[in-house]
């Protein structure tokens, strides 16, 4: 049987990425041009700057991905591109590039939801067992998702305010740490202890929703009060305590959901899944409950195009195709 070779393209936020994946699981190349250093100067992603950089990089990144995979456009079974959600001007660059290439070489075009991509990063590591439960934690998303079959997503719970990564980034900024704050807090927390009792938002009994704005406010109040009293702020302890609150809620709700739905696998996805404490606590909790856990390596947790090709493979097999009127969908629902 002919292998299915898919080019993935991802430009929803601040990474310009292209990747070639064979049969939905085997990475032949995985190119990422990060804009992190540029956005650092502004303390966050500036949409106009992001779009401009995507335009500058997209062709080179796609060419590199094809070259490293030793694949010519004519050998591609399909092009899979992130159609949303994300920054509209950023998404449009990937969508336009994918459409142009699909049209020029007459290659089928497949649209992918960014979160489906994050989930499918796990399938580049291990074959899925159903049902499974994924904790998606990124800069823009915090969701618990149940899957009973390929390409079908049921949202069990989601954040009611800030995303987990957003909370990390905001608290990091308040601590005077550079963007992106998640890895900074992760690092700083290792030097401290979780001695400060910050709140944990459990919400109503049985709810799989999340809320992080109360925790964020509690940390900001703590910092304001300490500096008003002229105290030296124990930054490593603040980082460790904040992180403990986030991780405890994430792990507890994920394990409860996995048990309630008889999950055969727990999957982690999104940039915050790089967090060392979350990985550690999730491993321990899943081991205690006998739940098989999959954690992708860091380079597959943060934005990349291999995950888009992996999720696109499922859409391709289902026969889902986009036409030349494909647009970017900044608020696309899963
Ligand atoms: O998935 P991602 O690369 O982009 C989005 O789709 O949002 O996630 C980026 C987020 C940022 O908020 C960043 O601070 C967070 O992931 N992050 C971390 C860590 N590494 C990245 N958060 C906590 N600990 C980390 N080690
Ligand atoms: Zn992402």
Mean pLDDT, all residues of the chain: 96
Mutate to test the pocket of ligand 1, among 16, 272, 279 (most ligand atoms within 8 A of CB): 272
Q: Are residues 88 and 226 in the same domain?
A: no
Q: Are residues 138 and 181 in the same domain?
A: yes
User: Atom 7, ligand 1: which residue's CA is nearest?
Assistant: 139
**Average pLDDT rounded to a whole number, residues 34-40:** 78
Alpha-carbon gap, residue 246 to 182, rounded angstroms: 12
Reported ipTM? 0.98
Looking at the predicted structure, is the pLDDT value of residue 169 above 90?
yes
How many angstroms separate the alpha carbon of residue 114 from the centre of ligand 2?
6
Q: Report the CATH number at residue 165.
A: 3.30.420.40
Q: Is 117 in the pocket of ligand 1 (CB under 6 A)?
A: no
In a domain, 202, yes or no: yes
- Phi, psi angle pair for 129, to nearest 5°: -115, 135
Scanning the chain, the segments in alpha helix (DSSP H) are 36-40, 47-69, 88-105, 114-120, 164-174, 181-189, 213-228, 235-260, 276-289, 298-301, 306-318
**Average pLDDT rounded to a whole number, residues 327-334:** 95
CA 160 to chain centre: 18
Question: What are 226-260's pLDDT values in tens digits?
Answer: 999 999 999 999 999 999 999 999 999 999 999 99
Q: Are residues 149 and 81 in the same domain?
A: no
Q: Are residues 191 and 90 in the same domain?
A: no
**Average pLDDT rounded to a whole number, residues 101-127:** 98
How many angstroms separate the alpha carbon of residue 271 from the centre of ligand 1?
3
Nearest of 139, 113, 164 to residue 307 by alpha carbon: 113
User: Atom 10, ligand 1: which residue's CA is nearest?
Assistant: 139
* pLDDT level of residue 279 (50, 70, 90 thresholds): very high
What is the dihedral angle through the alpha carbons of 54, 18, 126, 322, rounded to the nearest 10 degrees? 90
Domain housing 248:
129-295
pTM of the predicted structure, to 2 decimals: 0.96
């Amino acid at each position: 049987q002919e292998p299915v070779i898919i080019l993935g393209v991802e430009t929803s936020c601040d990474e310009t990425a292209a990747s070639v994946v064979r049969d939905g699981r085997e990475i032949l190349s995985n190119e990422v041009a990060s804009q992190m250093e540029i956005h650092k100067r502004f303390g966050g992603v500036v949409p106009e700057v992001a779009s401009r950089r995507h335009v500058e990089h997209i062709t080179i990144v796609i060419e590199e991905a094809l070259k490293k995979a030793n694949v010519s456009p004519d050998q591609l079974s399909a092009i899979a591109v992130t159609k949303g959600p994300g920054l509209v001007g950023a998404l449009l660059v990937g969508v336009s590039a994918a459409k142009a290439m699909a049209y020029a070489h007459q290659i089928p075009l497949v649209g992918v939801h960014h979160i489906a991509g994050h989930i499918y990063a796990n399938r580049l590591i291990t074959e899925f067992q159903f049902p499974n439960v994924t904790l998606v934690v990124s800069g823009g998303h915090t969701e618990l998702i149940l899957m009973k079959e390929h390409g079908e997503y049921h949202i069990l719970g989601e954040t009611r305010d800030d995303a987990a990564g957003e909370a990390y980034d905001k608290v990091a900024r308040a601590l005077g740490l550079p963007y992106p704050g998640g890895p900074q807090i992760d690092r700083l927390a290792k030097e401290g202890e979780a001695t400060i009792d910050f709140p944990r938002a459990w919400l109503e009994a049985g709810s799989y929703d999340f809320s992080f704005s109360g925790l964020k406010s509690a940390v900001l109040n703590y910092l304001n009060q300490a500096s008003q009293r002229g105290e030296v702020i124990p930054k490593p302890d603040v980082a460790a305590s904040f992180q403990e609150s986030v991780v405890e809620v994430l792990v507890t709700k994920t394990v409860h959901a996995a048990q309630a739905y008889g999950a055969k696998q727990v999957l982690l996805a999104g940039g915050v899944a790089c967090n060392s404490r979350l990985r550690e606590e999730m491993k321990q909790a899943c081991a205690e409950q006998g739940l098989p856990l999959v954690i992708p390596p860091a380079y597959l947790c943060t934005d990349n195009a291999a995950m888009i090709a992996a999720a696109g493979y499922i859409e391709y097999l289902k026969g889902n195709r986009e036409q030349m009127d494909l647009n970017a969908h900044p608020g696309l629902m899963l």
